Structure 1
């Protein structure tokens, strides 16, 4: 066995450039650098045996035989001469003791690697199943092309805003958000949306046509973004219902968790459509591309938008795996300290289980990410303040009749406004 190293940087460069690997002795296919030259296995072995035996060969001809793959055994003298001419060196040949030490070293490294592999952290089958379930839930309720949103009220970035035929248009014509289907059952009479019915029966509530037009309001984007938020709420509900353990909670706790966390989950989800270079959100077609200025035309002020953009940038720079992203959304939703939650212990147990899965996933897939979990949990704290400011600004809008008419009933109910 030889020490397969090259003392020539030029030779190594040739090897790295994947030039044809031809044996410099006989022209056969080479297997690498052996004793400082590119050779085949046959010539490698011949040189090693010749040097170790200190063999002396004599050419039966004139000492200038042309060595080829077919005749390389015919003249050992010229073959050895050719080995030396291309730079093969006997100094590179290991002694028997060195060969044994090298074998022992290789074996020891294999054993150490096997031990490291055995000790490497792994996800349990249950943890992997939880991740698989959450990924499936996310894929069923999140479409980055937003194809089923294209039928709603279009964005109007300037000029007067014309109302759509239904102020609850965002609650109609939705594609399925999960394996369950939304059932369309317009409520007779008024246009009230009940989150409890929406969650438990997974139904949408309609509204009667309204053809009134807004004045030339500065809030030209409000109708469109209200539809987008309603659409997103529907999708988050679909995601929540597939989180392991969520359906086992009481209806009251499910509603309390959703009402208080839904905007935070929406903000987490929107990070997938956030473009770090352009500092904007792209939701499918070019028409559904939103910058900060667009959001200000929906009534939101910089008190919300500045920390929101900062949050989106920070989250994007964490470069989370999709598995980490869906786990963070589920952990966010299952927070036991949400207002109105009754069974704190049960919700906390579900959240703790998800936190353990997230930490295990990070240990397995981000060995160097010791601080990643802490950074992710800090993002949940940041979301709380964003949630508070968002709800405050929506409540202010809902208390103004000319603006509340642009909001969908579901948005009004979830964010504290009164639906009459």
Structure 2
């Protein structure tokens, strides 16, 4: 009722399926509200502010606009988490259509299909990542050329980070940004050792117990960073410092993060590791395009190779 009366907006920090019972109902307001709707609550019949508690009495005179307190601004970390949640794969609707648990006997069988799948994964993932970048507060205020340079330079790092974060111990599934699911051994045919590096990186994030707020900041910092050729580096640096301060505050004041030694510095070191993993990915793309010339690499992939991004 209060959610409707206040027109409040909530974001689930998990997978929009949190348990809601008497003991845990205050943990996720988003899922609590969705459960109310699911069991029959109708938003249109909820009493408005003027009728709250009046049981049929006439509403009071409407307050003047000056008396209404302004809505609090959405915090940066909330906006970053929302950008991640809004663009990450929908777990109940993942695409298993090409998933195979066992490794085919012929390592070269269906090579062309594998290469096409490789290109599709990369291209569709880049589209999702671009939609994510557009949701980062302050990104749209940067020079258009700088936006493109920052995204292109970081896109492979972001591809690695997002896929790695979904890696789970003792689970061979790889969930890509476009929602497609492959077995790790399937990916070996085109990704080669790069996929093993992504998995190892993901397991290291799991050991760190990286929470979604830290991941959201980490993703933004992977893109909002100094790159050669920026037209307005000062604007980028201002935005970068805001995100760094946001991450530092989270690591300092969040009760879970406080229990993790040197959490802030460890996250920053992981961002640095992404550069190495993106170079490995660029090498993988180059080899696929070179040795599988029967299938022309898409223009986007060719531009990565020719421009030697993200170097």
Question: Which TM-score applies when normalising by structure 1?
Answer: 0.49
Q: Secondary structure at the match of 1:275?
A: coil
Match of 2:206 in 1: 316
1:331 aligns with 2:221: yes
Highest RCO, 1 vs 2 (Cα 8 Å, sep ≥ 6): 2
Match of 1:269 among 134, 154, 162: 162
Distance 1:228 1:287 in 2: 8
Match of 1:379 in 2: 270
Distance 1:251 1:231 in 2: 22
Is the 2:173–2:182 Cα contact (8 Å) retained in structure 1?
yes
Distance 1:312 1:342 in 2: 34
Distance 1:377 1:383 in 2: 10
Match of 2:7 in 1: none
TM-superposed CA distance for 1:343, in Å, is: 2.1
1:296 aligns with 2:188: yes
Query: Quick one: structure 1 residues 342 and 275, their matched pair in 2 at CA, closer, same or farther if it must change by over 3 Å?
Result: same
Match of 1:241 in 2: 134
Q: Secondary structure at the match of 1:247?
A: helix
Instruction: Give 1:155-166 correspondences, 5 Å limit.
Output: 158=104
Show CA shifts across 1:49-103 (max 9, x none). xxxxxxxxxxxxxxxxxxxxxxxxxxxxxxxxxxxxxxxxxxxxxxxxxxxxxxx
- Matched residue count: 232
TM-superposed CA distance for 1:341, in Å, is: 2.5
Unaligned runs of 5+ in 1: 1-124, 161-214
Show CA shifts across 1:241-296 (max 9, x none). 11111111112111111111011112111134212122442469x982321x2222
Distance 1:158 1:403 in 2: 22
1:143 aligns with 2:127: no
Larger helix proportion of the pair: 2
Distance 2:258 2:202 in 1: 25
Match of 1:398 in 2: 289
Show CA shifts across 1:366-419 (max 9, x none). 2233401111111111110111111122123223462552x443333345489x
TM-superposed CA distance for 1:348, in Å, is: 1.7
Q: Secondary structure at the match of 1:399?
A: helix
Distance 1:415 1:283 in 2: 21
Distance 1:313 1:296 in 2: 18
Show CA shifts across 1:142-190 (max 9, x none). 1243848678xx4687599xxxxxxxxxxxxxxxxxxxxxxxxxxxxxx
Question: Which TM-score applies when normalising by structure 2?
Answer: 0.65
Distance 2:294 2:79 in 1: 40
Distance 1:401 1:375 in 2: 39
Match of 2:75 among 122, 126, 129: 129
Unaligned runs of 5+ in 2: 1-71
1:281 aligns with 2:174: yes
Instruction: Give 1:121-270 correspondences, 5 Å limit.
Output: 129-145=75-91, 147=93, 154=98, 158=104, 216=109, 218=111, 220-270=113-163
Show CA shifts across 1:355-374 (max 9, x none). 10001011111223340111
